Chain A
């Protein structure tokens, strides 16, 4: 569990985060939801330690992260896996080397054979057992995200962070990636935090949703309750999605049964 209390962050007088407090729960997909420029990426950077918040504190399972000594921060960082928006694969290394890299750097006690097994296992877990020898420039965007996930989970991470894991992907691939993240989260009981503005992800994997608006947390809850939330900004955000509008229309015209038409066919392998 990650507890965030009263985080504030400004960039030369422009206050981006205005006192955010929330809890990211273990074994769940925690979604940070909000429009562009609401400070989601800045909040994530503060949580993983790429930026330092001006005020506020962050604790990982009871261990203070902000303002702690270097070795305590390093210890926590070893448990953090992160999937970046553009995947951020090291483009001078093969896919397998990318996945092996954190193992090589962070767990020197592993033997090369153990590392190779782990790489194989992680690539298999994300469905890329045959892509190990490819270079990042030779694989598709969806595959890059998968490699990014494999690299993030390779050192047995306890905390997984994903910045817009499905931006730039087609809807079917997005859902595949979402499902993969959700499965991994439940399977290994990790604390997963996902930035998104995609309503598909919200209703698909939103175990715990935190809605941010203009640097403030306005709502949090799960996917069962989000459609009935009474926060005007959140309602506006949700119902600006044309898919949701279409669903509403179908529901009004045909009753709930009409929604069946909109349900996706079973997805084939991406």
Chain B
């Protein structure tokens, strides 16, 4: 039907559409969650660190370690499981029950490479970017919360953020983001693509997609930590 280069062009365009979709639609909620995670982490660590022998900069250090390694990638992915996962499953499910997928098939278009592949690739591309954003915003959130409540001075916080930095942790977090993206988009696409029935089943497919993705993320989180750390 289409030559290889044209097929690539279509795939590229679809990838771009989906990536914009995921990125733009998730920006606000990811940012909001990240700022609050950073803020809460900072305040709670400050509350627990009462020993005068431990320098205040430890608060900044711990906020960084917790958000970069765990909070930013995992919590962002769980939020995205709700947002992106349900939209993938709901979108594909609706297309299935309204015969839009059959319409593609009748035209001789491979519906899984037209609908599913771009969504998976776009998720795997966008999730790490969103996680990087979440890391930055969480650290800023911690800074704001720590300084505004007077728990830590700006100098101490920044000193803590900059001490004993291990670049591998960032890489590890990004690997987690890519794996979680694959899990969420794959599980949700599967649930949506094979929906049978009517509107009720589309709802069920969305819910299943989100719960199954979250369970799979938690298991994968543990496995990755055990293997890669």
A residues neighboring B (CB under 8 Å) = 48-50, 73-74, 77-78, 80, 82, 84-86, 88-91, 102, 105-106, 108
Bin the interface of chain B by size: 10 to 19
Mark interface residues in B1-30 (1 if CB within 8 Å of A CB, else 0). Answer: 111001000100000000000000000000
Least CB distance, A49 to chain B, in whole angstroms: 7
- Contacts known (A48-B106, A50-B106); A105 close to B100, Cβ less than 8 A: no
Q: Report B-chain residues with C-beta under 8 Å of the C-beta of A86.
A: 98-99
- Give CA–CA (A106, B10) in the complex, Å: 11
14 additional A-B residue pairs with CB within 8 Å, beyond A78-B108, A82-B106, A106-B108 = A48-B106, A77-B107, A78-B1, A82-B103, A84-B102, A85-B99, A88-B102, A91-B94, A91-B100, A102-B107, A105-B1, A105-B107, A108-B2, A108-B6
B223 at the interface (CB under 8 A from A): no
Least CB distance, A268 to chain B, in whole angstroms: 30
Nearest B residue to A148 via CB reads B103
Nearest A residue to B105 via CB reads A50
Main secondary structure of the interface of A (DSSP, over half): loop
Picked from B94, B100, B106, the residue with its CB within 8 Å of the CB of A49 is B106
Tell me if B10 and A105 are in contact (CB < 8 A).
Answer: yes
B109 at the interface (CB under 8 A from A): yes
Q: Report A-chain residues with C-beta under 8 Å of the C-beta of B98.
A: 86, 88, 91
B residues neighboring A (CB under 8 Å) = 1-3, 6, 10, 94, 98-100, 102-103, 105-109
Least CB distance, B110 to chain A, in whole angstroms: 10
Q: Report A-chain residues with C-beta under 8 Å of the C-beta of B10.
A: 105
Nearest B residue to A77 via CB reads B108
Q: Report B-chain residues with C-beta under 8 Å of the C-beta of A88.
A: 98-100, 102-103
Tell me if A90 and B107 are in contact (CB < 8 A).
Answer: no
- Give CA–CA (A178, B108) in the complex, Å: 26
Least CB distance, A143 to chain B, in whole angstroms: 16
- Give CA–CA (A106, B109) in the complex, Å: 9
Q: Report A-chain residues with C-beta under 8 Å of the C-beta of B99.
A: 84-86, 88
Tell me if A80 and B106 are in contact (CB < 8 A).
Answer: yes
Least CB distance, A43 to chain B, in whole angstroms: 15
- Give CA–CA (A82, B106) in the complex, Å: 7
- Give CA–CA (A73, B108) in the complex, Å: 8
Q: Report B-chain residues with C-beta under 8 Å of the C-beta of A49.
A: 105-106
Nearest B residue to A45 via CB reads B102
Least CB distance, A12 to chain B, in whole angstroms: 14
- Give CA–CA (A251, B100) in the complex, Å: 45
Q: Report B-chain residues with C-beta under 8 Å of the C-beta of A106.
A: 1, 107-108
A-B contact pairs, 22 of them (CB 8 A): A49-B105, A50-B102, A74-B108, A77-B108, A78-B1, A78-B107, A80-B106, A82-B103, A84-B99, A86-B98, A88-B99, A88-B100, A88-B102, A89-B100, A90-B103, A91-B100, A105-B2, A105-B10, A105-B107, A106-B107, A106-B108, A108-B6
